[in-house]
Amino acid sequence: MLTGESVDAIIYGALAALNAERDPGDQIPMSPDTALFGVDAMLDSLSFVSLITDVEASLNLDHDLEISLADDRAMSRAHSPYATVATLRDYILEVVTEP
Amino acid sequence: MTEDRAKYEGSVIVVTGARKGLGRLLAEYFLGEGGQVIGISRGNASITHARYSHYSMDVGDDRAVRAAFTKIARAPGRLDIVINNAAVLTSVHALLMPATRAEEMVRTNLLGGFYVAREAAKLMRRAKSGRIINIGSMAVALEPIGDSVYAATKAASMTLTGVLAKELGSYGITVNTLAVTALETDMLAQLPREKIDRVIAGLPLPRLATQDDIFNVVDFFASPRSSYVTAQTVFLGGVHA
């Protein structure tokens, strides 16, 4: 059963992988408020794609959850679930706890 | 030549449409060259080999494609080459084309190739290396009567190749198209012989393609030396768009 903390750990793990390839002065903060998508985003488009793909892969492979984070529902929301670490975590929890 | 032996040893290759025709030929070729081959087709496996495994599924079914690649991500856990070969053809005058057949061609030939490339790239990006080879068709250039939707799906697939090459280039993944001319396959057998002969006669090199013609270009695209070759379409037989 996924918890908020375990989802945070997955997202931070993916961000850590991105940070490993970035300059020391260009690190992405590990915070619930870190903007992932939109005008204030800390990630460029390629890093964003990598983040979502890595998180999805972790959910699929490590937690046996075959879910897509880039489905119609996510893309059609008025408020993007990708906006920050916290909104992404909440969206994942919403998707995985659906009946 | 020793250097040509087992050129795909240690490589994991996905071939779609692997049950028959060109897909089966390519699957058997990779197996013969030492590769580990994962075949995909709507029907059951037609190849039995220690290094061959098979998924019976429709590449036009997004959910099935995702599920298959999740399994591939678990074992063997890597992917080096994808041959996007699965395709269906209904050759009939546009005024007589049933919507169901037209939609099936779009779903399999275009969307199926996209779904497979998308999931394959997720695996390949981990290794920062990969080769996606889409099987195209001379129909794009020749625009044969009766092949309106088929040719359009293959043209769209070439455009897909170009865009994916841009999007996946930074992951070390190349995307290219091999546009084949007529080869003796089940798909070719669906067409009237007279039509085939007429098309062949009009080619700059007027003969059927051989297996080796195809393997040669696949080897070129798949080669580690081709890391700077992407977004390209090679037509066989002197056909050109």
DSSP result, B7-47: TTTT-EEEEESTTSHHHHHHHHHHHHTT-EEEEEESS----
Q: Is A70 on the interface with B (CB under 8 A)?
A: no
**Domain parsing of chain B, residue ranges:** 2-236
Confidence of residue A97 (pLDDT cuts 50, 70, 90): confident
The size of the A-B interface in CB pairs under 8 A is: 16
ipTM score: 0.84
CATH number at residue A48: 1.10.1200
Tokens read off for B186: 């089940």
Give the closest-approach CA distance of B26 to chain A in angstroms. 29
Supply the pTM of this predicted model: 0.91
pLDDT of residue B4: 54
Check whether A78 has a pLDDT greater than 90: no
**A12 pLDDT more than 90:** yes
What is the amino acid identity at position A24? P
Predicted local confidence at residue B3, as pLDDT: 54
Cβ distance of A53 and B122 shorter than 8 Å = yes
How far apart CA B241 and CA B233 sit, in angstroms, is: 9
pLDDT in tens, A30-55: 999 999 999 889 999 999 999 999 99
Radius of gyration of chain B (CA): 17
Q: Which residues of chain B fall below pLDDT 70? A: 1-5, 187
CB contact A68 to B (< 8 Å): yes
Please choose, from the candidates B137, B90, B134, the residue with its C-alpha nearest in 3D space to the C-alpha of residue B116.
B134
Mutation site, A21, A53, A68, A69, interface B, largest B CB count within 10 A = A53
Q: Under DSSP, is residue A64 helix (H, G, I), strand (E, B) or coil? A: coil
Give the CA distances from residue B191 to residues B108, B149, B151, B169, B213, in Å, rounded to whole numbers and listed in that order. 19, 15, 14, 38, 22
Total domain count, chain A: 1
What pLDDT does residue B104 have?
97
> CB distance from B125 to chain A under 8 Å?
yes
Pick B2-236's CATH classification: 3.40.50.970, 3.40.190.10, 3.40.50.12280, 3.40.50.720: 3.40.50.720
8 A C-beta contact, residue B173 and residue B82 = no
Q: What is the pLDDT of residue B1?
A: 47
Mean pLDDT score of chain A, rounded to an integer?
93
Nearest chain B residue (CA) to A53: B122
Query: What residue numbers bound the domain in which A45 lies?
Result: 4-96
Q: How far is A16 from chain B (nearest CA, A)?
A: 15
SS3 state at B62: helix
Instruction: Report yes or no: B64 at the A interface, CB cutoff 8 Å.
Output: no
Q: Which chain B residues touch A57 with a CB distance below 8 Å?
A: 73, 122
Q: Inspect the interface and report whether the beta carbons of B70 and A61 lie closer than 8 Å.
A: yes
